[in-house]
Amino acid sequence: MPEQTTQSRKRQKTPKTATFHPYAIPASLSLQVVSHPLKIRPAGNLLLAGKETEEKLRMSMGDFHRFPEQLIMDILGFLDSATDLGHVMCVSRFFYAFTSSDELWKQIYLKGEKFDRWLGSWKESVLRCKQSAIDCSIVHSDLLFVPYQNSQVDYSKLFENIIITENKRRHQVVPASANIPYDLSIPRLDEDTMTPSLFSSRFHDRPFILKSTNPARWPAWTIDTLTARFPGTTFRQEYVQWPLKLYAEYCASNQDESPLYLFDCNSEAMKQLKTEFVCPGVFFRGHV
């Protein structure tokens, strides 16, 4: 018996130490849940909430309990003023929760309601006041809960390893002819060494960033420096046109599942900014 035990121990494999890719998303972050400010909960939680909560929700919904939540949201979408939404908001906790959907208030803004300051959400900005923290914990809705969760993902934590690695490499400028391994990072190449032939042979299917060994070569544009220079200049952000100062406030704090992005080559600011940028020489030596 002791001999068999010894042999069985020999057959046991030494467990391998788990290895993780440096860019892997930590499991703890991928499962992170942020509490909704109105205490709205996922739809599945209603199964464990008990009969009393179900009855309170039914009473709060009234005759609308017969309708699916998407239909209710579609009906609310026909309201075309902040006043109308405000009236419905006062009906019950259920309707307060649904009329607090930022997508509804975004549509109100696009229909003509304006504001000149961003207060953290479309609702608060249109109403020009902070939102009351009404307890809507009887409301269990994926339609309301999931978009808010998606808007609260902390990408600085989620991609922390990538950010640290890229920040270390941002000043590592190498010649385009150097032997650069494929390690999922984006190499910074010396613009003076890039040629059309090198691009065609080595970089036509690989992302890279052209940089210069001269620290003063590229304009140091950041949202803060641009806002200081062009606070009142209008830029197009997809379907809205805002002064840059307002857009900077929006970028700093919003609850949009899909935030607005600024892509505008026709802004008045571009007349000045384009004089501060000179294309890398490779674009003049031949087409890439």
Q: Which residues contact 38 (CB under 8 A, 6 or more apart)?
A: 96, 97, 100, 133, 134, 135, 136, 139
pLDDT tens by residue, 19-37: 444 444 455 555 567 889 9
pLDDT tens by residue, 114-152: 999 999 999 999 999 988 889 999 999 999 999 999 898
Q: For the residues 207-218, what does the mean pLDDT come to? A: 87
Q: Which residues contact 281 (CB under 8 A, 6 or more apart)?
A: 191, 192
- What pLDDT is attached to residue 230? 95
187 and 209 in contact (C-beta within 8 Å)? yes
**How many residues are recorded in the chain?**
288
Residue of 79 and 11 predicted with greater confidence: 79
pLDDT tens by residue, 237-250: 999 999 999 999 99
Distance, CA of 226 to CA of 175 (rounded, Å): 31
Q: What is the DSSP string of the chain?
A: -HHHHHHHHHHSPPPPPP---TTPPPHHHHT-----TT--B-GGGGGGT-HHHHHHHHHHHGGGGGS-HHHHHHHHTT--SHHHHHHHHTS-HHHHHHHT-HHHHHHHHHTT---SS--SSHHHHHHTSPPP----TT-B-HHHHHHHHHHT--HHHHTHHHHHHHHHHTT-EE-TTS----SSS--EEEGGG--HHHIIIIITTS--EEE-SSTTSS----HHHHHHH-TT-EEEETTEEEEHHHHHHHHHS---SS------SSSTHHHHHGGG----THHHHS--
pLDDT tens by residue, 163-179: 888 888 888 899 999 98
Most confident of 29-38, 71-80, 153-162: 71-80
- Residue 233: name the closest of 190, 175, 272, 280 by CA: 272
pLDDT at 4 over 60: no
Q: For the residues 104-109, what does the mean pLDDT come to? A: 96
Q: Which residues contact 266 (CB under 8 A, 6 or more apart)?
A: 236
- What pLDDT is attached to residue 27? 53
Q: Which long-range contacts (CB under 8 A, 24 or more apart) does 145-151 make?
A: 145/36, 145/40, 145/41, 145/42, 145/43, 146/42, 147/103, 147/257, 148/34, 148/36, 148/37, 148/40, 148/255, 149/33, 149/34, 150/257, 151/254, 151/255, 151/256, 151/257
pLDDT at 111 over 70: yes
239 and 110 in contact (C-beta within 8 Å)? yes
